[in-house]
Amino acid sequence: MRLLVSNSPRRTAVLAFVAALPLLLGGVLVAYPDRADAGPAASQADSLVSQGKPATASSTESTSLGAANAFDGDPDTRWASAEGKDPQWIRVDLGATATVSRVKLNWEAAYASSYRVEVSDDGASWTRIAGDTAGNGGTDDFTGLSGKGRYLRMYGTARGTSYGYSLYEFEVYGAFDGGEPPTGKFTVVAAGDIAEQCTASSSSCAHPKTAAQAKKINPKFYLTMGDNQYDDARISDFRAYYDKTWGAFKAKTHPAPGNHETYDPAGVLAGYKAYFGAIAYPQGKPYYSYDEGNWHFIALDSNSFDQSAQIDWLKADLAHNSKGCIAAYWHHPLFSSGEHGNQPVGKPVWKILYGAKADLVLNGHDHHYERFAPQNPDGEAKADGIVEVLGGMGGALPYKIEEVQPNSQKRISGKYGVLKFDFTDTGYSWQNIGTDGNVNDTSPDYRCH
């Protein structure tokens, strides 16, 4: 059965015609020869294996209509391809081999009149398991399937309208080999404001202690939220202090610069770039992105948020993202209860990230720990908001809490430590771990948008 649903006003005429078909046909149920949903109703044992998984597509109509929208479980968001072009496709990476028993496609008014549903083990060689050659939109529910693979795609060969292809939801049901879905779990250690000009020979020197705790956790990788080296971040200071402690993880570190990296007499970010090299400039700029599991990580340079080049890059980067979860990090926090307070320079970036359904933002600058409830760029509590975590307790002299901001849930000042994040394919949580190994705070469990 096809259930026609849409809330796209631009295609009212198309919907009106399609909606009238049952009346025109006198209530007769029409069966198409290429339909693959003639089998029994889906087994109650079927599990939804595609939600929140990495997705990509041959094209997108705009940055807000990306492939991930079709796998987010939200019936009001959608993927849309470029208009007027055939063929087009959208695919999902299930993360592991699964036996597929059911596929459900909920079309927007821009539907496919002819398409194939295909599976693949490697994302290169595809096998058809279902499809339609006389599609009329609405909901196509293919049951009784027996496909097997890690990747699954809809390959559209003919559009039903003059527009493109558009899906509200693309649901894949089945079972993973071994019976358990992959979690994609990995651990990350994060901190900002790290190396003062001191060494372990001084009992008051904190960054050797935070480095020891970071090493003990032994994460997948490390990330830093700026002010890696005080005071002026000269290359000589990096070598004398940071390198002796946090430098042990240099090869596994994804850093971001802070304002102290701009104070170098040799030039803005000169020592930072000389020390980290391609690690901090993997894409030729002090801002870059990378993927791990179902997560897309974005490292930004908040010293240059007023420059259009970085903003344009961020928009393009998000438009090409195929991961289901997004985390971004930089130095200056939009929201902070500390001595520096809120830094509005980050608000335009927050707006872009919020529009892309980003999940997590990490910052430093104020030398304390703080976590906020999900909120929008205007500081309004929202269920679909971004969670901000401030982790400026990596070794620099602590700052006091000055003015508690709305939505601030926890604040700790005067205790050095690191953030230990646990990421999965569908969510995340973290702990604030002190230099003594004690857990100072544990976050709620969050699911990706």
Would 374 be classed as within a structural domain?
yes
> pLDDT tens-digit profile of 369-394?
999 999 999 999 999 999 999 999 99
Pair 219, 429: CB distance under 8 Å: no
Domain co-membership, 169 together with 200? no
Instruction: Look at residues 144, 176, 208 and tell me which one is the last residue of a structural domain.
Output: 176
Query: Would residue 3 count as lying in a domain?
Result: no
Q: What are phi and psi of 13, to 5 degrees?
A: -65, -40
In this structure, are 422 and 314 located in the same domain?
Answer: yes
What percent of the chain is predicted at pLDDT more than 90? 82
Does residue 278 lie within any of the structural domains? yes
Q: Quick one: pLDDT band at residue 6, thresholds 50, 70, 90?
A: very low
Residues 237 and 320 both lie in one domain: yes
Residues 396 and 339 in one domain: yes
Please report which confidence band the pLDDT of residue 28 belongs to, taking 50, 70 and 90 as the band edges: very low
Does residue 211 sit within a domain?
A: yes
Altogether, the residues listed in the chain come to a count of 449
- pLDDT of amino acid 404: 98
Provide the mean pLDDT of the chain. Answer: 90
Position 103 in a domain: yes
Quote the number of domains for the chain.
Answer: 2
Q: What is the pLDDT of residue 355?
A: 96
Residue 19 counted as domain residue: yes
Of 131, 153, 176, the last residue of a domain is: 176
Q: Where are the beta strands (DSSP E) in 288-359?
A: 288-292, 295-299, 325-329
- Regarding whether 203 and 128 lie in a shared domain, the answer is no
Judged by average pLDDT, the poorest of 7-21, 73-87, 191-205, 294-308 is 7-21
Looking at the fold, whether 281 and 302 belong to one and the same domain comes out as: yes
The reported pLDDT for the residue numbered 31 is 33
pLDDT tops 50 at residue 30: no
pLDDT of residue 9: 37
Return the pLDDT at 46. Answer: 78
Q: What angle separates helix 347-355 from helix 308-319, to the nearest 10 degrees?
A: 10
Does one domain contain both 198 and 161?
no
Quote the distance between the C-alpha of residue 376 and its chain's center. Answer: 16
Instruction: Give the pLDDT confidence score for residue 45 in this predicted structure.
Output: 56
Positive or negative torsion for Cα 215, 192, 223, 95:
positive
Same domain for 234 and 310, yes or no, is yes
Residues 29, 154 share a domain: yes
User: Span 79-88, mean pLDDT?
Assistant: 96
- Whether residue 2 lies inside any domain: the answer is no
Tens of pLDDT, residue by residue over 94-145, are: 988 999 999 999 999 999 999 999 999 988 999 999 999 999 999 999 999 9
Q: Supply angle C-alpha 303, 328, 291, rounded to 5.
A: 125
- Kindly state the helix (H) or strand (E) to which residue 235 belongs, with its residue range: helix 235-240
Of the residues 115, 141, 176, the one at which a domain ends? 176
Do 141 and 46 reside in the same domain of the chain? yes
Interval 429-446: pLDDT, tens:
999 999 999 999 999 999
Average pLDDT over residues 267-294: 97
**pTM score:** 0.69
Residues 53, 7: Cα–Cα separation, whole Å: 25
Residues 270 and 408 in one domain: yes
* Residue 16 predicted with pLDDT over 70: no
Predicted confidence (pLDDT) per residue in 163-215, tens digit: 999 999 999 999 998 777 677 899 999 999 999 999 999 999 999 999 999 99
What sign does the dihedral 410-447-434-196 (CA atoms) show? negative
Question: How far apart, in Å, are the Cα atoms of 128 and each of 53, 113, 116?
Answer: 21, 17, 6
CB 337 within 8 A of CB 405: yes
Average pLDDT over residues 220-249: 98
> Cβ atoms within 10 A of the Cβ of 309, count?
10
Please report, in angstroms and rounded to a whole number, the separation of the first and last CA atoms in the chain. 30
423: pLDDT strictly greater than 90: yes
CATH of the domain at 159: 2.60.120.260
State the residue range of the domain holding 442. 186-447
Q: For residue 414, what is the domain's CATH number?
A: 3.60.21.10
Gap between the Cα atoms of 67 and 87, Å rounded: 16
My answer on whether 97 and 18 are in the same domain is: yes
